[in-house]
Amino acid sequence: MSLTGDVCVLTGACGFLGEKLVRLLLEEEKLAEIRLLDRNIRPDFIQSLEDCCGETKLSVFEGDIRDSELLRRACRGATLIFHTASLIDVTGAIDYRELYEVNVKGTQFLLETCIQESVASFIYTSSIEVAGPNPRGEPIINGNEDTVYTCTQRFPYSLTKKEAEQLCLNAQGEQLCNGGCLATCILRPMYIYGEGCRFTLSHMRDGIRNGDVLRRISRREAKVNPVYVGNVAVAHLQAARALKEPQKRAVVGGNFYYISDNTPPISYSDFNHAVLSPLGFGIQERPVLPFCILYLMSFLMEMFQALLRPFLRFTLPFNRQLLVMLNTPFSFSYQKARRDLGYAPRYEWAEARKRTTDWLASVLAREREQISLK
């Protein structure tokens, strides 16, 4: 079903996924208005949208998601929320209080505002990390939403995303001020890659510093299924369309969906090599140290960090949960999203890989120059 005439709010509009979703909405729907909400709205991004917005009105709401007045203004008269905004942290660089305030409290404030302003549909962008892997590194291969898996989270980021998910599930069916009911839907993408991915860019920078050789941080057999950002944007659009259709709304509301595509299962390290090898990057054959030794080192560093925390705060280069995540086979099917949302990947691996590599090629010279100046 079309979103023609709808007014949607997109949080994290200038983010990695947010940008792709805005462009997709402008290309494929005749929305009455798209309201872009972000802490930092880049003028160049807004200018780049002017030629493709057509009759869709673009409105900018710059500020913090914890600002209740900003949320009320952004949501007033809206029909749909895409909540992609989030603080992402896998190394402990961000204080837990800030992660909680943005990822959990921000989601809570947004849901409350939806109820007050009678916004009918709410789509939350979660993360595969709420599912695991667990500290024991138990694998999942081609799992689905019904896969039973026990996972006690340790990452503050994972914990906050899981709690925000629960808030969304609890809000399903809440009565709106206009007498309607709120429908919520959660999307759990795999590791998202593509043009603009800061994690891939970071690995490229590390490779440059290491003489154009990528460091192997995951074992070959620890295969996951990354998902291209363009396909994740398509999944969001399909979720919004499903929530607009009464019969599908009853099925989709209150559910979560894993979002993957046809990217071949591959380890994180080998994925980095796959998109960077055309640019002349090699990769280490094996990790510098065996997994068990790296795990022990991580444990000792975490204990040392805990002892010094009252006097000194610093970020570790890696920790046990990150090490386990990078070395555990962990992949999921998108078949439930296909069935309920009508989702199908639009970009196959060959095109997604080329787009990612072309983007990396476009910034490679600049990155080399910046690194050489340091």
228 labelled catalytic: no
266 strand-pairing partners: 224
**Cβ-proximal residues to 57 (8 Å cutoff; 6+ apart), any chain:** 32, 33, 34
**Cβ-proximal residues to 310 (8 Å cutoff; 6+ apart), any chain:** none
CB 257 within 8 A of CB 337: yes
Residue 228 burial (10 A CB sphere; 0-12, 13-18, 19+)? buried
Q: At what angle do helices 106-117 and 68-75 cross, to 10 degrees?
A: 40
- Tokens matching residue 276: 């960077």
Q: Kindly report the three-state secondary structure assignment for every residue of 135-149.
A: CCCCCEEEECCCCCC
Choice among 96, 124, 149, 157 that is catalytic: 157
Give catalytic residues, as residue numbers: 157
